[in-house]
Amino acid sequence: MLNPLVQALLSRCDDPEDRGVLTDCASGRTVSAQQFWNDSQQVARLLAQHGVVRGDHVAVTMPAGEVFAHIIYACFVIGAVPAFVDAGTSKEILTKCIEELEPKLWVSASPVPGQETRYPEHFDVRQQPPSAAEAVQPVEVSGDDAALLLYTSGTTGLPKGVPWTCAHLASYVRIQRDSYEPFGVKSEFAFFAHLGIKAIAMGRRAVIPALDETQPALLSLPDAVRQMAAHGCDYVFASPVFWQRLSDACLGGTVEAPPVKVAATAGAAVNPGMLATLAEVMPGTRIYVPYASTEALMPITLIEAGTMAALSETGTRLGHGVPLGRAAEDTRVAVIDPRASELREITDADLLGPGQIGELIVSGPRVTTEYFKRPELTDYAKLRHTGDGSLWHRMGDVGYLDAEAMVWFMCRKKHVVDTAVGRVYPDQQEQVYNHHLGIYDSAVVAAPGADRVRLVLSDVFRGRVSPQDVQAVAEQFNLPVPRLVFYPGRLPSDRRHNSKIDREAILDWCLHRKTN
């Protein structure tokens, strides 16, 4: 077999009605499937000239665009493994990732002291003389061969490399295509570079924005909307903070809603209230919330915004957690005791029943098998079922399955805190306060054993929320009454999505500020 993304691209080359596989918003250039294939082959020859062969890693830290896409597909052609290292990380962490990776080649948009790199311009076919060399034949692969390496965000330490195999990509492409093809999706506005690469394989035209997409909270919203309207945005997967900003701007009349057919956003950090507002400003858009992770490709579960809103009214606002949907096709979700860190093998007896809160584990064709060069982490995170031999992955999230097999999210496992006033699941409580106080951002934090928790809000809510308001909500829903604290500015969050609250940083600030 060929790499599934290469096979899909070649199929598009044979389609006379194909309207292009990639649009680079920076140049306004749209590339046909055949031209993209020819250019990728030329880049494959350049990689080979640098000594890159099958199985080698090629680190890529550069902005998304046409050259970026050519490099990735060129790797696929010769069987090399492109590694998506987040260029927005600190030089220290970036260097550690590269040292662990030991790539044959590092393509970087900016030089790193002490490291040998190649600039992206070196692989820009428009700056290369035409080649009369013979076509490069794509290598044959197996489903278990690594196709690419994606790194986690590093919120729990040094980013972890996660190999995605050809089989993982084939399953991802199939379910994504089948899920959204009925809605006439022909273009994908790719805020995340790796999604644009895979969009090509789904028969879509990948639209690569000319934006600093590494900071969704700060990117220019007018520029984003203008590019979406001009170049196509049938399908858009974006951070919750982007959709929140877009909803607010549309309501405020500062931008017009772009013509999105299908909008999607990350699962656990989504505020149901934001989805309701988004549906109001984009009434013709289908809105979905997939649940996934770097180690388990979209979708593990999938829920439509209307369903999520209805369940939020009867569940989330009452403190029952956030509904994530039911397990997607070919995927299983189960719950185990969150304290069972010693488990390496599981049986049905280890699985908790409906309504019992524990750690979510998942199994299926889009669940990865290992961490790159981290055997101790692989040993902990991957569980083998002794009955059917299936591989399960610890999601690091705490939640439960209800009687109808709906998955409910409570919080990240690392954020569970046992206090003197009971066990605290921060996300679960934050959703209650967000709904009843009419806010969109909050953090419930506490030190282990503390006799009181804190509810931390951005100081933009000062004067709008009082301690009495907070106490009333807490008492109504039988939550421990928290101390209300206002944080100067926007609450700190993760770098990749700007939507996962950095509770460790907030708690540290609370504990060390002069007035507690």
pLDDT tens, position by position, 408-446: 999 999 999 999 999 999 999 999 999 999 998 899 999
Residues of the chain with CATH 3.30.300.30: 416-512
Confidence tier at 301 by pLDDT (50, 70, 90): very high
Give 4-18+32-166's CATH code, choosing from 3.90.550.10, 3.30.360.10, 3.40.50.170, 3.40.50.980.
3.40.50.980
d(CA 516, CA 514): 6
Span 135-155, average pLDDT = 92
C-alpha to C-alpha distance for 421 and 451, rounded to whole angstroms: 6
Q: Mind giving me the DSSP string for 234-290?
A: SEEEE-HHHHHHHHHHHHHTSSPPP--SEEEE-STT--HHHHHHHHHH-TT-EEEEE
Is the Cβ–Cβ distance between 506 and 492 less than 8 Å? yes
Per CATH, the architecture of 416-512 is what? Answer: 2-Layer Sandwich (3.30)
- What is the number of alpha carbons within 13 Å of residue 29 lying toward its C-beta? 10
| Structure confidence at residue 268 as a pLDDT band (50, 70, 90) | low
How confident is the model over 24-67, as pLDDT tens digits?
A: 999 999 999 999 999 999 999 999 999 999 999 999 999 899 99
Report the distance separating Cα 37 and Cα 393, nearest Å.
36
Q: Which helix (H) or strand (E) holds 81?
A: strand 81-84
What is the per-residue pLDDT for 270?
83
CA angle 52, 57, 63 (to 5 degrees): 100
Q: Identify the residue whose tokens are 């550690």.
A: 96
Would you tell me how many other CB atoms lie within 10 Å of the CB of residue 12?
Answer: 20
Looking at the chain, the domain(s) classified CATH 3.40.50.980 span: 4-18+32-166
Distance CA 202, CA 174 (A): 8
Q: Quick one: average pLDDT of 467-482?
A: 98
